[in-house]
Amino acid sequence: MQHAHELIDPIRPWRRATVAVSAVATIELIALAVIGLVVFGNPLASHLRESAAAASTPRVRSAHPLPAKKPELARSETSVMVLNGGGVSGAAHAAADKVTGHGYLLGQIGNAAGDTPRTLVMYRPGYTAEGKRLGRDLHIRIVRPLDGMHPAQLLGAHLVLILGK
């Protein structure tokens, strides 16, 4: 009859061999990792250093010259269209007299398409300063770019004064 002791002996050499082979494989893996870091690590490290340095330096904005600002038109060169949006008869002509009294050129005088609750000045693109000046001259607080109108509808005028209720 065989004892359990005799059955274990043939297994022990395999166990020792497995542990030895695993230890050798671990050492080889570590050696390959070290060789890989030495060979590939240096270029990678220098690349990371360069990209970190580039990212940390502030970007220098190129100095683009500002577009030449067109001179503000004189009042005598600024044309104003006057539209009555409040429905009061003769209001557009009375406002046109105030506009010419300040030295502006008078464009078309007429009625606005709908009722406008507030008096406002609108300006075509590029004539912001002239629109703000007309607003100051006539004590009108609302001055803004053309809204709901196309520049072609101004019939050559630079600004449009719309009278409200």
- The rounded distance, in Å, linking the Cα atoms of 75 and 134 is 9
- Give the model's pLDDT for residue 1: 52
Which among 82, 112, 119 has a CA at the least distance from the CA of 97?
82
pLDDT category of residue 3 using cuts at 50, 70 and 90: low
% of the chain at pLDDT higher than 90 = 46
- The rounded distance, in Å, linking the Cα atoms of 23 and 15 is 12
Question: How much is the pTM?
Answer: 0.58
Tell me: the pLDDT tens digits for 110-128? 998 888 889 999 999 989 9
- Give the model's pLDDT for residue 41: 66
Tell me: the pLDDT tens digits for 32-70? 988 887 777 667 677 777 887 777 777 776 666 766 667
Q: What is the mean pLDDT of residues 79-99?
A: 92
% of the chain at pLDDT higher than 70 = 84
- Give the model's pLDDT for residue 7: 55
Which among 73, 76, 120, 77 has a CA at the least distance from the CA of 95?
120
- The rounded distance, in Å, linking the Cα atoms of 25 and 13 is 18
Give the C-alpha distances (Å, rounded to integers) separating 99 from 66, 75, 85, 134, 145.
33, 10, 16, 8, 19
Q: What is the CATH code of the structural domain delimited by 75-163?
A: 3.30.70
| Ranges of each domain in the chain | 4-56, 75-163
- Give the model's pLDDT for residue 68: 64
CB 158 within 8 A of CB 72: no
